[in-house]
Structure 1
Amino acid sequence: MSGVYERRLLRVERGFGVLEKLWAVPWGFVLLLCAVAGVGYVALYSAGGGAPELYASKHALRFGFGVVVMLCIAFVDIRLIAKLSWLGYAIGIGLLVLVAVHGQVGKGAQRWVELGPVQLQPSELMKILLVLALASWFHRASWERVGNLLFLVPPAIAVLIPVGLILKQPNLGTALITGMIGAAVFWSAGVRWWKFALVGIAAGVAAPIAYDHLHDYQRARITTFLDPESDPLGAGYNIIQSKIALGSGGMWGKGFLQGTQGHLNFLPEKQTDFIFTMIAEEFGLVGAVGTLLLLALVVAFAFLVALRCRHQYGRLLGVGLGTNFFLYVFVNVAMVTGSIPVGGVPLPLISHGGSAMLTAMVGFGLLMSAWVHRDAEFAATKD
C-alpha cells in the first residue's frame, strides 16, 4: 500500500474536514451537469418562443437550487446515508400512500402531492430511495447469503410495494423503470442468473393477463406504437409529428429558434416529453448526438463511482443510480423516435419539470458523496 493511499485512508477514518471535502468533490462532474443543464436552458428558451420567462428561467432557478442541494448531500458521510436508507424508503412509501389518498390529479393520473408551496411527484423520488434501501440490504451480505432465496424475499417485497403503488396512480412507465432499477441492484449484488430467468418466465406468462387489465389509453399507446398511421389525427398524432421534426432537422438542423414543428405548435409537449425532438430539429443530428454524448458521460460517472468505491454500498449505489439515469434517457429518446410506445418520461436535466430536476440532483449528490467517501470503512461482512 502506497504512502499516499495510507494517508488518504487515515483521513477517511478520522473524518474529512470541510476543505478536504471541497477538494475531493469531482468538480469536473459538476461542470458536466452544468453543460447538460445549459443544453436544457437553450432548448427551453426556444420552446418558450424565444423568451426565458415561460420555461428557461424556471429551469435555471431549479438547477441552481439543485446544485446547492447536491453539494450539501455530497458532504454528508456515506455511512450516515447508509444508516438512514430504510428510513428514507419508509418516507417514500408514505408519500406514495399519501398520493393514493390525497394526490393531485393531472392528465387523468393521480401522481402529485402538495407539500406546502411545493408540488412533488413521489414516484420520481421513490426510485432513488429504493436504490438506497436495496444497497443498504445487500452491502454487508456475503456471497453465500445472497444465494439464499429466503434472504431475497424482503428486498423483493421492498421492490414490489412501490411498483404496485405507482401502478395504481396509474403510471406504468415509471413502475416498469422502478422494477428494472431494482433488478439492476439485485444483479450487481450477486443474485444468480437463474433467478432472473424464473422471474422473466413468470412475467412472460403474466403479460397477456396484464394487458387485459391495462387502461384504455395504455392499450391505445401500444396499438399506436405498432401502427401510428392508423389514427394520424388522434392517438398517432404525437409520434408522427415527432418523427417529422426529427427528420426535418437533417445533419445540422434548421437553426436556433427556426424549428417549424415546434414553433408552429405541431409538436406536442415540446417543453417536456418531446424536448429532444426540438433539439434535433433545430440543431440536427450533430446536436442530438452531442446531447446524447453529454448524457452518456453522466451515466459513465455513475459507473465510475461503482468501480472506484472500496465498499459495496457505494458500488451498488453507483449501479442503481446510474441505471436510473440511463433508463430516463433511453426511454425518453426511444419514445420520441418511435422505438417504444409513448409515455410520460422526461429527459433529465433538459426537460421542464421540478420533481424530475430535484430527484436527479439528489441522486447526483448521493453519487458525489459515495465518490468523496469512496475509501470509507463499513462494518464487517455478515456471516
Structure 2
Amino acid sequence: MSAVVNYGDTPSNKYVINHDIMNCTAEGVTGNHLYSGRALGMSEPEDIIQIHPELERLWEDISRHYQRIGLSHSDNVLWDLDLKHLGSHSGYLPSVFYFGPQECRYWDDTRWMETVEFINSKNNFMALAAELGVPVPQTRCFDSVLAITPQVIQETVFPCYLKAAVSVSGVGIYRCADEAEFAEALGRFDPDVPVQVQEEVTTETFLNLQYQVSGNRLARLAASEQILDGFVHQGNRVPARHAPWDVVEPMAAWLQAHGMHGIFAFDVAVVQTDQGLRFPAIECNPRFNGASYPTLIAQKLKIPAWSAVTVTTQYRTLADIDLSGLEFDQQTGSGVILVNWGTVLVGKLIVLLAGTPAIQQSLLLELGKRL
C-alpha cells in the first residue's frame, strides 16, 4: 500500500501525486515553484507523480540517491503540473499538497474543499476550538482591520501577535512589543483583511501533531518538535519530548467527520505554568506541511530518530554534491537523505538527518563542509 492517503471505503494503492504549492504559497519564497519534487520520496512505484519540468535534469541523480539508500519511489513521472491529471487516470486517487478550489475543479469533492477552506482561517479555528473545548492562547478575532478601534488597541496587552486570519510560511504575522509597533503592523494589511490579536506564548518549544485520514480511519501520524527561526518554520525533529494528542483530538475528529482527507496537522505550544505543563493549540494546517515529507520517508525506512532541516549550498546541481560516506545506511540506521532536492537549482535543500541527536549534529557539520 502506498504511503500516501486513500479516500474511500475501499483502499487504493495508486495515486496521482501533485504537490505543487504555487496555488497556496507566500509570494517571494525562493524556489517555491520547485517544491513539487519533495513528494517523490513518499511515493511508491505504482503511483503517478507530477514534477516541475525544470527538475528533469536532476532525475538521474536523485533516483540513484534513493536507490542507494533503499527508498522506493515512483518512476511514472509527468513533467507537467497541470491539475487536470488528478481526475483523468482511471483507478487513481489524488494526493495534493492543499485541496482548494483549483484542485476541486478536477476532483469533485466539495465537502473536503469546504472543510479545508474553513479551518485554514485562524479565526474559524479559534471559534471551533471554543466550541470543542480545545485550549488556545487568549485571542481576539476581527472580520477586518477596520474593526480594530482605538479602544481595542488600548485594551491590548503587549507584547502580542497580530496575525492575518489566513497566512502561510509566517507571512502576515507580526510581533508587536508596543502600540507603535502594533500601529505599524496594522498598516501593512489592507483594511478589509480578517485578522486576530493573540497573546504572546512564552515558550521555545512548539509541536507539530500530524493526523492522517485513510479511507474512513483517523490515525495519529507523527508528533515532532518544530525547529523555528523566530516564528518561521525551518524544520522538525523526532521523537518529540511531548505528544499531547488528547488536546487536539476533538478537532481532528470533527475535521474527519466533515470530510477531511489526507494529512493535516496542528501547531501546539508547550508552556510551563505553576500548575504544570500547558499545551495551547495555535492553528491547524489542513494540508501536507513541511514535516510531512520527512515523516513519510522516515516511516518507510523505519527511522525512529531524525531531524529535517534546510541547508544552503553553493552548488546548483545534485551531481556536484558529495554525499559519499554520509548517505543513509539501512544497516546503521543513520545518514543523510535528500527530501526537497529540486530547490538545489536555487542553492538550497531540505535534508533528513537520521540517527541519534549526536549523530544528526555530526552529519550536519560534515554536510555543511561539503555544500
Q: Which category describes the TM-score, using the shorter chain as reference length?
A: under 0.3
Query: Structure 2 length as normaliser, TM-score?
Result: 0.26
Structure with bigger helix share is 1
Scaled by the length of structure 1, what TM-score is found?
Answer: 0.25
Tell me which protein shows more strand as a share of its residues: 2
Higher relative contact order (CA 8 A, sep 6+): 1
